[in-house]
């Protein structure tokens, strides 16, 4: 089976989490860049990456990578790429997006137009035709230019991988599924430990944690653009990947994963989302204000995305909100808390300086991932357990 570079965009600053996922899938990493990782794979790898990866945004096949300082160089280099190995004669192809950073070529619309023309010229020669009907399956193209290095890719995913299919409704300030999964995986939380989100909104942290605990692959219940690329990706590979995902599921795992929110309608939405994600038996949602945050267990985790106060009237309520959280967290003596927020006074009102702090972009919003570490639980006496 032919191999090619597979590029995985991810949230900037969370490349290490995605690297671990790629290694766990059994692939060798070729290149790590800010917000993007490349590994060597084949058609089977495209299917497995789309279905199994929790923290990647897309799965892209790299068709060419080269330097270009002029539009003529861009045209000639794109034309030299082996497009016929991927796009059939009746394929519908277009440049869905062009990003350019610190490069001589800076007009996305011009880049899109020239790349399309170059592809047409290449395929005309290879298929010995003067016109394309483009009435077949979709082959969307994405172009990245960074410091004059051009990367041209086919997008195998379609809708971004954060669209797991379970969240049809979201709260006012939702966190994406891929970001939520990455943040959970940055913590030491494991499925046998308690997890509470006191600002759960539509339930994303709670649901992603439950899917992790049950081994539910995030892409097994959705469709991908490349499923129709039967000219070089056998349909059986998709079926095999889904079968592999089903074998890894453990829906009977015991968990203590809870989500609270003050808004009853949001809790109803979270329950519906959990049902669609097939984890409704693994999670517990409750209408409860943060001032009533409590748990009888020890060594638990809080992982949450509290209000940021992007609107002025909301910002005025933040000192009280974060203060209440700090008071309740203080009573959970052996617990750890992981909080993503753009609120710069979070530590002040929580009443404790974070042990670690990581800058992360949630969409276009610069946020901080505050990490308040609790003590490690005592190691179990394995002789007593056996």
Q: Output the tens digit of pLDDT for each of the chain's 386 residues.
A: 799 999 999 998 899 999 999 999 999 999 999 999 999 999 999 999 999 999 999 999 999 999 999 999 999 999 999 999 999 999 999 999 999 999 999 999 999 999 999 999 999 999 999 999 999 999 999 999 999 999 999 999 999 999 999 987 665 557 999 999 999 999 999 999 999 999 999 999 999 999 999 999 999 999 999 999 999 999 999 999 999 999 999 999 999 999 999 999 999 999 999 999 999 999 999 999 999 999 999 999 999 999 987 665 678 899 999 999 999 999 999 999 999 999 999 999 999 999 999 999 887 788 999 999 999 998 864 344 43
Q: How far apart are CA 201 and CA 216, in angstroms?
A: 21
Query: Measured between alpha carbons, how far is 76 from 308 in angstroms, rounded to an integer?
Result: 48
pLDDT score recorded for residue 308: 84
Sign of the Cα pseudo-torsion (225, 228, 231, 234, in order) = positive
Q: What per-residue confidence (pLDDT) applies to 379?
A: 80
Tokens of 318: 């933040």
pTM above 0.85, yes or no: yes
Q: C-alpha angle 311/314/316, rounded to 5°?
A: 115
Please state, in angstroms and rounded to a whole number, the distance separating the CA atoms of residues 342 and 308.
6
pLDDT score recorded for residue 380? 65
Closest CA to 277 of 368, 204, 200, 379: 204
Q: What is the dihedral of CA 344, 346, 351, 355, to 10 degrees?
A: -80
């Amino acid at each position: 089976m032919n191999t090619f570079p597979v590029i995985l965009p991810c949230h900037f600053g969370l490349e290490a989490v995605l690297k671990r996922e790629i290694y766990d899938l059994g692939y060798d990493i070729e290149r790590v860049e800010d917000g993007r990782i490349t590994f060597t794979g084949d058609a089977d790898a495209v299917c497995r990456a789309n279905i199994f990866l929790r923290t990647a945004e897309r799965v892209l096949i790299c068709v060419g990578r080269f330097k270009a300082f002029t539009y003529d160089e861009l045209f000639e280099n794109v034309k030299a790429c082996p497009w016929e190995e991927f796009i059939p004669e009746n394929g519908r192809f277009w440049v869905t997006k062009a990003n350019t950073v610190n490069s001589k070529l800076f007009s996305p619309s011009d880049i899109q137009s020239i790349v399309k023309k170059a592809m047409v010229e290449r395929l005309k020669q290879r298929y010995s035709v003067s016109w394309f009907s483009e009435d077949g399956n979709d082959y969307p193209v994405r172009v990245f230019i960074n410091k004059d290095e051009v990367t041209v890719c086919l997008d195998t995913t379609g809708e971004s991988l954060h669209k797991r299919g379970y969240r049809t409704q979201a709260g006012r300030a939702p966190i994406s599924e891929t970001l939520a999964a990455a943040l959970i995986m940055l913590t030491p939380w494991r499925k046998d430990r308690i997890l509470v989100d006191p600002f759960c909104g539509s339930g994303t942290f709670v649901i992603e944690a439950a899917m992790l605990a049950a081994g539910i692959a995030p892409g097994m219940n959705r469709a991908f653009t490349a499923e129709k690329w039967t000219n070089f990706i056998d349909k059986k590979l998709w079926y095999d990947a889904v079968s592999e995902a089903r074998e890894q599921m453990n829906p009977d795992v015991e968990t203590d994963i809870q989500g609270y929110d003050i808004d009853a309608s949001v809790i109803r939405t979270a329950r519906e989302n959990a049902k669609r994600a097939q984890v409704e038996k693994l999670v517990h949602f409750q209408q409860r204000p943060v001032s009533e945050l409590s748990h009888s267990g020890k060594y638990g985790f809080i992982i949450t995305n509290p209000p940021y106060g992007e609107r002025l009237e909301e910002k005025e309520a933040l000192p009280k909100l974060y203060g209440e959280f700090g008071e309740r967290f203080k009573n959970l003596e052996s617990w750890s808390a992981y909080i993503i927020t753009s609120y710069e006074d979070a530590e002040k009102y929580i009443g404790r300086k974070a042990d670690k702090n990581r800058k992360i972009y949630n969409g276009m919003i610069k946020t901080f991932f505050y990490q308040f570490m609790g003590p490690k639980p005592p190691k179990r006496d394995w002789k007593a357990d056996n």
